[in-house]
Each structure stands twice: as C-alpha cells, then as structure tokens.
Amino acid sequence: MKTETHKTDTHKKDEAAPKDNGSATGPALAGLLIGGLAGAGAALLLAPQSGKETREQIQQKTVELRDRTTETVEGAVSQVKSKTQQIATNLQGKAEELQHQSQEMIAGQLDRVSAAAEAGKVAFTHEPEP
C-alpha cells in the first residue's frame, strides 16, 4: 500500500510541475555565449604562442562568436515573427468565424421573436370577446 501512495504522490507532483512551452532560445543563447567564451579562453591560454598572436586570436574568436550569436538571435527573432504571424492569422480566422456564427444566431432569434409576435397578434385578433 505504501508503494501505491508513493506513486500517487509522484503523479501529483508531475501535474503540479510547470509546463515547458518549448522556448529554449534564452538558455541556448546563454549556453552558446558562455561555452564559446570558456572554450576560446581555455584554448588561447593553453596554446604556446606569443602575446601578440594570442591577442589576435582572441579578437578573431570574439568576432566569430559575435557572428554566431547574431545568426542565432536573428534565427530566433525570425521564428518568433513567423509564429506571431501564424497566431494572428489563426485569431483573425476564428474572430471572423465567431462573428458569422453570432450573426446567424441573432438572425435566428429575430425570426423566432417575429414569429412569436405575429402569433400573438393573430391570437389577440381572433379571440372572441366575452
């Protein structure tokens, strides 16, 4: 029985855990930047060469890292713009669909009210007076 209770508790913890929305751009960029800097720094510091060569290599690696980061950010921005456009298009379609449905519902209600009013008129005019 303790095992079953434990499984239930674990299941409840999973339900309460926040959902991942699939956006890992921020952590990916941070990892790219930190990893690139750490790797370049370690390679440059451990390589036997002159200070001038090391400075040139640091400058070159910095430019490469900047370019890769720029490409990654531009790709992420492009994905966000594309997804935003897709969501906007979907929302516009849903709004138009809801507007059409509401117009149909209003027209149906007006028809029913008109029919009821007409039936009331007919019933009132055909009632025999006492």
Q: Which pLDDT tens digit goes with each residue over 17-66?
A: 445 555 667 777 778 778 877 887 777 677 677 778 878 888 898 899 88
Does residue 122 lie in a domain region?
yes
Query: Which alpha helices (DSSP H) does 1-130 contain, by range?
Result: 2-16, 25-46, 51-126
Does residue 10 lie in a domain region?
no
* Tokens found for residue 84: 């935003």
Residue 71 to residue 73: CA distance in whole angstroms: 5
Scanning the structure block, which residue is given the tokens 């921020």?
Answer: 26
Which residue, 45, 72, 71, is CA-closest to 58? 45
Does residue 93 lie in a domain region?
yes
Which residue, 29, 42, 40, is CA-closest to 63? 40
pTM (2 d.p.): 0.44
Does residue 39 lie in a domain region?
yes
pLDDT of the residue at 38:
81
Does residue 7 lie in a domain region?
no
pLDDT at 14 over 50: no
Mean pLDDT throughout 115-119? Answer: 89
Cα 124-125-128 angle, rounded to 5 deg: 85
Total domains in the fold of the chain: 1
Report the chain's C-alpha Rg in angstroms: 34
Does residue 63 lie in a domain region?
yes
Does residue 107 lie in a domain region?
yes
Cα 58-60-62 angle, rounded to 5 deg: 65
* Tokens found for residue 52: 């001038």
Domain range enclosing 62: 26-126
Residue 64 to residue 82: CA distance in whole angstroms: 27
Does residue 67 lie in a domain region?
yes
Ranking 41-45, 69-73, 116-120 by mean pLDDT, the lowest is 41-45
Residue 31 to residue 8: CA distance in whole angstroms: 36
